[in-house]
C-alpha cells in the first residue's frame, strides 16, 4: 500500500461523500424548516435523473440545458406535492410521515410503470481520466465534485445572507414568532420544498451520466440521506455537508480496508450519534 | 341492539366471505380443452428484467403450440393457457402466488422463479401435492433428493463456470490470478462459492473476493482495493447487469488492463451504453448472439418469432427461458398424460431432449443428489466493437 | 369482568366458522396472514400509546422467528415451548436496546428503532452458519400435534392464529382499561406533566416497548413455523413501514384499528390482482386516500357515514 493508494482512497471518499451531501442537503433543509422527514425526497432524486435522461436522450437537448431544466421541473413537482399532499397535514407529525411514505411509494410505482425496470443511461458529456498524486479520477467525477461544491456554496450563501434565506431560518427556529413578524410560513415552506427538490433533482441529473438510471434509485438514496442528516444534525446544512463527507469517507475506507461489514457502518454511526449526541454533529437539539 | 360500527364490520367480513366463495365459479373457459399452467416470476421490481424475459420466451412457445392447434395429449388437443403471477422477487408474495395457483386455480404444473427465497418458500406447497415445478435460481438447495418434483431449467453458475473456466484456462494460458466481486445477497453468496471452487479446480489463484452492498453505484472504493492485488482477470458473475456495466466502466477508468469476465447473459447494447464502448472491449460473458455463427435452425426460428411478436431489438437474455415450456410440453406429449406423476417419470427417463439449443439433457446426480438439472450449451462470447463474437460453445459436464 | 357485546359475539362466530364455510386453503391463507400481521401490529399500537413511533418492528418479528426456529430445530424444543420463549426473547432484546434509547424523544426515537432494525437484519445476514444468511433457513417443522390436532392442513393453523389473535385482543382491551393503560395515555398526552405527578416515564415506556415487541416475537415465531421457511428478506424496512401503515390505516384510536388495517391492506391487493404491475401504485393511492378521507383510520368509517365529525389527532 503506497501513498498513491491512500490518495485514491481519500479521493474516493471525497467523491462518495459529496454525492451523499448533494442528496442529503435538501432532505435536511426540509426537516429543518418544515419538521418533516420527507421520504419522498429520494424519488425526486430519481426523477431528476429520469428528466435528464428524457431531455437529453429523447429530446436531444445538450446535457447542461437538460440539467437546468430538470432542476426546474423537479422544483415545480416538489412544490405541487407540497401544495396538495403535504400542506393539509402540515402540523400533524405522524400523518405527515405516513403521507410522505405514501407519496414515495406512489412516485416509485408510477415511475416503474411508465419507464420500465431496465437500466437506462445518459451519455457522458466529458471523458478521460486525470491523475492526481498518483491516484486516478475520471473527468466526469471532477465535474460532479465541482458542481457539488458550487451548489453547496450557493445554498449556504443563500441561507445565510439572502432575505428569503433569513426568513427560512426564522421559520425554522420558531414558526409562530416568524408568522407574527409577518413572514409567510406557507410560502416559505413552498419555497423550501422547491429548493430542496431542485437540489435532489440536480443530484440525480449530475450522477446520471456516471452511473445508470432506473426507478429504484429513490429508496437507496433516501436511506443514505437519512443516515447523513442524522449524523450531521437534522436541519443543519453544515451538518449535512459534514455528515455526508463523514459517511463517504467512512464507507470508502471501510470498503477498502474492512470489507463488506461496512454495510452496517452507517447504521452503527446513527445509533452512536443518537445515543450520545442526538442532535448530531451540528444540530441544535 | 347492535352498534352500527359492528354491523358494518360484519357486513364487510360477510361480503368478503361471499366473494371468496363465488370467485372460483367466475373462471370459465370455452368449450375447447384448456391446459392451465401456472407461472411465478418477478414481473415488477428490481428483478423484473429476468421475469419479463422469461415471460417473452414462454409466450413465444405458447403461441407457437396454440397456433398449430394446441398440445397433443393422448390424442386430444389442449390449448395452452399460462396463469402469470408476480412474486416481486419476494418469498412471501411468491408463496401467496403459489397458494393461489395450487389451491384456487388447481394447476398441476408451475414454471418459475428466480429467487431462491421464493422457491424455498413455495416448495413446501408444491412437493407434498406432487405439483411439477420447473424452476431457476442459483441456490443449490433448491434441487435435492427430497424434492422429486422440482427440475431446474436454466444453467446455474456451477454449470456455466464449469464450461467457461476451462475455456479461459485454455485460451488465456498466461492468466493466473482472479478477483471476485459479488453482491451481498443470496445469489451472490451462492455464486461466489461456485466461483471459488471452480476457479481452484482450474488452477486459478483467487487473490481477492468481496461483496458489495446492493444499490451501490460507486465501486471505486472496492475496486481500489481489488486492483492493489493485481488480478489477471475479474469475475463478477453474480452482479446485476447494470452493476456489471458500471464495474467494467469504473475498473477501466482506474487503469485496469486485465480481462473482465461474467458467467451471465448480457444485453450488449445496454451494456456498452452504460459502460462505454471502449471500456467494454474484450468483456467475456455467457451470451449467445442468435444471428451469429453456431446458430441452430431452432434458434433462428426463435429469433424470427421473437421479432414477429415483440419487434426489434432482440433481447438476448430471453432464449434460455424457452426450454421451460418447451421441455414441459414435450414431456406431457411423450407421457400422453396430464398426470404430473407420469410426466415427472417421463422427464426422468428421457435421456435426450431436442431444444433450440440442440440436444439437451438432465444431469447433476452427483452434485445435487438428484438428476434434475438441465444441461444446455454454454456460449462464451467476447464483446468486440460493441458486438458479441462467439469464442466457443461447450456442454458442461455435470456428473 | 368484560361485558360481551352482541356485535362482538357475532364477529367472533363468523371468524370461528369461517373454515367451515370455506375450506378453500387459499382463502384461509389470506386470513392467517391477516392474523399474523394483526397480532404484530397490536404491538405497534401499544408502543404508540406512549407516544413513541416505532419504525423497526419487523426486526423484533425477525428475532421471534429466528429464535423459535433455532429453539425447535437446534435445541429440540417443542413449538409450544419455543413460541412463548420467542416472544420473551424479543422482549429481552427490546429491554436491552430500550434502556439506552427510550430516553430519546420524538423523531429521533423513530430513527433509532429504524437503524437498529437494519442492524439486526444485517447481523442475521452476517452470521450464516447459525442463522442461514441470505438463503434463510428452510424446512422449519410445523407445530407438534396438540390435543391430537395435527398441523398438516391450513385449518389448524387458522384456529391457532385465531386463538392467538383473540388472546392478544383481550389483552390489549384489558390493558387499555387498566391503570397501566391510563398511565400510558397520560405519558402520550404530556411527558412533562406525567413526570411532574411522579410517574416514572422511563419505566412505563419500557414496559410498553417490551410488551409491544413480545407480540412481534410471537407473530414472528408463528410466521416461521407456518411458512416452514424464514429469511432476512421477510423482515426488511418495508415490513416495518407496513406495520406502521396498517395501524394508521386501521386507526390508532381504537383497539380494533390494527385488525381493520391488516385486514384491509391484505385483502384489497388480493382482490385487485387483476393488474399486478399496478399494485404498488394502488397500495399507495389507497393509503393516501385513507389519510385524506378517513384521518382517524377505518374505525372511524361508521361514524363518518353517520355524519359525525371525528377530531383528528
Task: Report the pLDDT averaged over residues A35-56.
Answer: 93
Cis peptide before B313 (omega within 30 of 0): yes
Q: Lowest-pLDDT range, A140-144, C166-170, C195-199?
A: C195-199
- Rounded average pLDDT over C263-279: 73
Compare all CA atoms of chain B with the CA of A16 and give the residue at the minimum distance. B218
Q: Which region among B73-82, B336-345, C14-23, C48-57 has the lowest average model confidence (pLDDT)?
A: C14-23
Which chains have 3+ CB pairs within 8 A of A?
B, C
Instruction: Give pLDDT, residue C41.
Output: 96
What does the domain layout of chain A look like in residue ranges? Answer: 3-276
What is the tens place of the pLDDT at every residue in B231-290? 999 999 989 888 999 999 999 999 899 999 999 888 888 899 899 899 999 999 998 776
Q: A174 — contact with chain B (CB < 8 Å)?
A: no
Confidence bin at B291 (pLDDT 50/70/90): low
Which residues in chain C are closer than 8 Å to B17, comparing Cβ atoms? 14, 18, 21-22
Q: Which chain B residues are closer than 8 Å to C278 by Cβ?
A: none
| Secondary-structure class of domain A3-276 per CATH | mainly alpha
Determine the pLDDT at residue C68.
Answer: 95
Residue C244 CB burial class (10 angstroms; 0-12, 13-18, ≥19): buried
Confidence class for position A241, pLDDT limits 50, 70, 90: very high
Q: Which of A215, A248, A255 to mutate to test the interface with B (most CBs of B within 10 A)?
A: A255
Model pTM score:
0.85
State the ipTM, two decimals.
0.85
A17 contact residues in B (CB cutoff 8 A): none
- A169-198 tens-digit pLDDT: 888 888 888 888 888 888 889 999 999 999
pLDDT in the model for residue A135: 84
Q: Which is more confidently placed, B148 or A3?
A: B148
The 10s digit of each residue's pLDDT in B18-66 is: 554 555 444 444 557 899 999 999 987 778 888 888 999 999 999 999 9
What residue of A is the nearest CA neighbor of B45?
A117
C171 CA to centre of own chain: 14
pLDDT for the residue A184? 82
Cβ–Cβ contact B18 with C under 8 A:
no
Domains of chain B: 34-152+297-356 (3.40.50.2300), 158-291+382-394 (3.40.50.2300)
User: What is the per-residue pLDDT across A208-223, written as a single tens digit (0 to 9) for each?
Assistant: 998 989 888 898 899 8
| Predicted pLDDT of residue B25 | 45
What pLDDT is recorded for position B351? 87
With residue B270 as reference, give the H or E element that holds it. helix B268-275
Task: Let me know: does B378 contact B394? Beta carbons within 8 Å.
Answer: yes
B chain contacts of residue C24, beta-carbon cutoff 8 Å: 20-21, 24, 103-104
Q: Name the closest residue on chain B to residue C270, using Cα atoms.
A: B96
**Interface test with chain C among B14, B19, B97, B103, by most C beta carbons within 10 Å:** B103
Task: Check pLDDT > 70 for residue B387.
Answer: yes
Cβ contacts of A256 on chain B, cutoff 8 Å: 221-222, 224-225
Q: How far apart are CA A233 and CA B145, in angstroms?
A: 56
Cβ–Cβ < 8 Å for B238, B157: yes
- Is the pLDDT at B14 greater than 60? The verdict is no
Task: Identify all chain B residues contacting A46, using CB atoms and an 8 Å cutoff.
Answer: none
pLDDT of residue C313: 45
The shortest C-alpha distance from A261 to chain C (Å) reads 8
- What band does B67 get if pLDDT is binned at 50, 70 and 90? very high
Site from B45, B89, B220 to mutate, A interface, most A CB atoms within 10 angstroms:
B220
Provide the pLDDT for residue C276: 58
Chain C residues with CB inside 8 Å of A263's CB?
Answer: 122
Q: Which of C11, C26, C303 is closest, CB to CB, to B100?
A: C26
Give, in degrees to the nearest 5, the angle at Cα B132 between B126 and B136. 90
Higher pLDDT, B130 or C299: B130
Q: How far is A109 from chain C (nearest CA, A)?
A: 5
Give the chain C residue whose CA is nearest to the CA of A229.
C111
Q: What is the dihedral of CA B55, B61, B66, B67, to 10 degrees?
A: 120
pLDDT for A216 equals 87
The band of C2, judged by pLDDT with boundaries at 50, 70 and 90, is very low
pLDDT at residue number C295: 82
Mean pLDDT score of chain C = 85
Q: Name the minimum distance, in Å, from the CA of A83 to any CA of chain B.
A: 29
Residues of chain B with pLDDT > 70, as a percent, come to: 91
pLDDT above 90 for C271: no
What pLDDT is recorded for position B9?
A: 59
- The confidence score (pLDDT) of residue B103 equals 86
Q: Which of C106, C281, C295 sits opposite A110 (nearest CB)?
A: C281
What does the pLDDT look like over B152-178, one tens digit per residue?
A: 999 988 889 988 999 999 999 999 999
Higher pLDDT, B12 or A131: A131
By percentage, how much of chain A surpasses pLDDT 90? Answer: 41
C126 pLDDT band, cuts 50/70/90, is confident
Q: Is B35 on the interface with C (CB under 8 A)?
A: no
Amino acid at each position: 500500500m503506497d501513498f498513491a493508494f491512500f490518495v485514491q482512497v481519500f479521493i474516493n471518499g471525497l467523491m462518495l461523500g459529496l454525492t451523499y451531501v448533494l442528496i442529503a442537503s435538501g432532505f435536511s433543509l426540509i426537516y429543518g424548516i418544515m419538521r418533516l422527514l420527507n421520504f419522498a425526497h429520494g424519488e425526486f432524486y430519481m426523477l431528476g435523473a429520469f428528466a435528464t435522461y428524457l431531455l437529453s436522450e429523447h429530446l436531444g437537448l445538450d446535457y447542461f440545458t437538460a440539467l437546468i431544466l430538470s432542476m426546474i421541473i423537479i422544483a415545480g413537482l416538489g412544490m405541487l406535492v407540497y401544495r396538495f399532499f403535504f400542506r393539509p397535514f402540515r402540523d400533524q407529525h405522524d400523518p405527515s410521515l405516513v403521507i410522505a411514505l405514501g407519496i414515495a411509494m406512489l412516485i416509485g410505482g408510477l415511475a416503474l410503470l411508465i419507464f420500465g425496470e431496465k437500466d437506462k443511461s445518459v451519455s457522458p458529456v466529458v471523458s478521460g481520466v486525470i491523475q492526481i498524486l498518483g491516484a486516478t479520477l475520471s473527468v466526469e467525477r471532477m465535474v460532479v465534485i465541482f458542481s457539488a461544491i458550487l451548489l453547496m456554496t450557493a445554498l449556504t450563501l443563500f441561507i445565510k445572507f439572502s432575505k428569503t434565506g433569513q426568513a427560512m431560518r426564522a421559520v425554522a427556529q420558531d414558526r409562530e414568532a416568524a408568522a407574527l413578524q409577518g413572514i409567510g410560513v406557507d410560502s416559505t415552506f413552498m419555497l423550501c420544498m422547491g429548493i430542496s427538490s431542485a437540489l435532489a433533482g440536480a443530484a440525480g441529473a449530475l450522477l446520471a451520466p456516471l452511473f445508470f438510471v432506473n426507478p429504484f434509485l429513490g429508496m437507496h438514496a433516501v436511506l443514505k440521506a437519512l443516515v447523513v442528516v442524522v449524523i450531521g444534525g437534522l436541519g443543519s446544512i453544515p451538518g449535512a455537508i459534514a455528515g455526508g463527507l463523514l459517511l463517504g469517507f467512512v464507507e470508502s475506507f471501510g470498503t477498502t480496508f474492512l470489507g463488506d461489514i461496512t454495510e452496517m457502518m452507517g447504521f452503527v454511526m446513527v445509533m452512536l450519534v443518537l445515543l450520545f449526541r442526538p442532535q448530531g454533529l451540528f444540530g441544535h437539539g | 341492539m347492535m352498534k352500527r360500527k359492528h354491523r358494518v364490520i360484519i357486513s364487510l367480513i360477510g361480503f368478503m366471505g361471499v366473494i371468496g366463495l363465488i370467485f372460483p365459479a367466475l373462471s370459465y373457459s370455452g368449450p375447447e380443452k384448456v391446459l392451465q399452467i401456472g407461472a411465478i416470476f418477478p414481473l415488477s421490481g428490481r428483478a423484473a428484467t429476468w421475469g419479463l424475459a422469461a415471460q417473452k420466451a414462454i409466450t413465444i412457445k405458447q403461441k407457437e403450440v396454440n397456433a398449430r392447434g394446441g398440445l397433443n395429449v393422448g390424442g386430444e388437443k389442449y390449448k395452452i393457457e399460462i396463469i402469470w403471477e408476480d412474486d416481486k422477487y419476494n418469498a412471501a408474495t411468491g408463496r401467496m402466488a403459489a397458494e393461489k395457483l395450487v389451491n384456487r386455480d388447481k394447476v398441476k404444473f408451475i414454471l418459475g422463479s428466480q429467487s431462491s427465497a421464493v422457491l424455498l418458500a413455495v416448495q413446501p406447497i408444491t412437493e407434498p401435492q406432487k405439483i411439477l415445478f420447473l424452476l431457476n435460481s442459483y441456490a443449490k438447495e433448491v434441487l435435492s433428493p427430497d424434492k422429486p418434483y422440482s427440475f431446474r431449467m436454466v444453467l446455474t453458475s456451477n454449470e456455466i463456470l464449469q464450461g467457461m473456466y476451462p475455456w479461459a484456462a485454455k485460451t488465456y494460458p498466461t492468466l493466473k490470478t482472479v478477483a471476485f466481486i459479488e453482491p451481498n445477497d443470496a445469489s451472490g453468496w451462492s455464486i461466489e462459492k461456485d466461483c471459488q471452487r471452480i476457479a481452484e479446480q482450474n488452477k486459478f489463484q483467487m487473490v481477492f473476493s468481496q461483496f458489495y452492498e446492493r444499490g451501490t453505484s460507486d465501486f471505486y472504493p472496492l475496486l481500489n482495493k481489488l486492483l492493489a492485488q493485481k488480478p489477471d482477470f475479474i469475475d463478477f458473475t453474480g452482479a446485476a447487469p447494470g452493476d456489471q456495466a458500471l464495474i467494467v466502466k469504473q475498473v477501466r477508468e482506474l487503469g485496469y488492463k486485465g480481462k473482465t469476465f461474467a458467467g451471465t447473459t448480457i444485453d450488449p447494447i445496454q451494456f456498452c451504453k452504460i459502460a462505454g464502448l471502449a471500456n467494454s472491449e474484450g468483456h467475456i460473458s455467457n451470451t449467445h448472439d442468435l444471428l451469429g455463427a453456431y446458430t441452430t435452425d431452432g434458434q433462428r426460428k426463435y429469433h424470427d418469432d421473437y421479432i414477429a411478436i415483440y419487434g426489434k431489438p432482440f433481447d438476448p437474455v430471453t432464449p434460455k427461458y424457452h426450454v421451460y415450456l418447451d421441455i414441459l410440453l414435450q414431456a406431457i406429449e411423450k407421457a400422453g398424460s396430464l398426470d404430473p406423476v407420469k410426466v415427472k417419470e417421463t422427464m426422468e427417463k428421457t435421456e435426450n431432449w431436442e431444444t433450440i439449443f440442440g440436444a439437451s439433457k438432465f444431469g447433476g446426480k452427483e452434485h445435487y443428489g438428484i438428476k434434475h438439472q438441465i444441461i444446455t450449451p454454454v456460449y462464451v462470447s467476447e464483446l468486440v466493437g460493441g458486438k458479441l463474437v462467439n469464442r466457443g460453445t461447450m456442454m458442461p459436464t455435470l456428473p | 369482568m368484560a361485558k360481551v357485546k352482541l356485535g362482538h359475539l357475532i364477529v367472533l362466530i363468523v371468524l370461528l366458522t369461517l373454515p367451515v364455510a370455506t375450506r378453500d386453503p387459499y382463502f384461509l391463507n389470506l386470513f392467517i396472514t391477516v392474523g399474523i400481521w394483526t397480532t404484530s401490529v397490536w404491538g405497534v399500537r401499544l408502543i404508540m400509546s406512549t407516544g413513541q413511533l416505532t419504525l423497526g418492528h419487523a426486526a423484533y418479528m425477525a428475532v421471534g422467528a429466528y429464535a423459535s426456529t433455532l429453539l425447535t430445530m437446534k435445541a429440540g424444543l417443542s413449538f409450544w415451548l419455543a413460541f412463548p420463549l420467542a416472544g420473551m426473547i424479543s422482549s429481552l432484546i427490546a429491554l436491552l436496546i430500550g434502556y439506552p434509547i427510550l430516553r430519546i424523544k420524538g423523531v429521533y426515537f423513530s430513527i433509532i428503532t429504524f437503524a437498529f432494525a437494519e442492524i439486526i437484519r444485517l447481523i442475521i445476514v452476517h452470521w450464516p452458519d447459525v442463522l442461514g444468511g441470505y438463503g434463510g433457513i428452510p424446512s422449519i417443522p410445523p407445530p407438534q400435534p396438540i390435543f391430537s390436532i395435527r398441523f398438516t392442513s391450513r385449518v389448524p393453523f387458522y384456529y391457532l392464529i385465531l386463538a392467538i389473535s383473540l388472546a392478544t385482543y383481550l389483552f390489549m382491551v384489558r390493558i387499555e382499561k387498566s391503570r397501566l393503560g391510563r398511565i400510558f395515555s397520560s405519558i402520550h398526552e404530556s411527558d412533562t406533566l406525567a413526570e411532574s405527578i411522579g410517574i416514572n416515564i422511563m419505566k412505563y415506556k419500557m414496559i410498553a416497548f417490551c410488551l409491544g415487541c413480545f407480540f412481534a416475537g410471537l407473530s414472528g415465531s408463528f410466521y416461521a413455523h407456518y411458512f416452514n421457511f424464514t429469511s432476512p428478506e421477510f423482515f426488511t424496512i418495508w415490513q416495518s413501514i407496513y406495520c406502521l401503515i396498517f395501524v394508521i390505516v386501521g386507526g390508532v384510536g381504537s383497539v380494533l384499528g390494527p385488525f381493520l388495517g391488516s385486514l384491509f391492506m391484505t385483502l384489497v391487493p388480493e382482490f385487485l390482482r387483476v393488474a399486478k404491475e399496478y399494485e404498488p401504485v394502488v397500495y399507495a393511492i389507497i393509503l393516501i386516500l385513507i389519510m385524506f378521507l378517513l384521518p382517524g383510520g377505518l374505525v372511524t368509517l361508521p361514524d363518518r357515514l353517520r355524519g359525525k365529525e371525528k377530531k383528528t389527532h
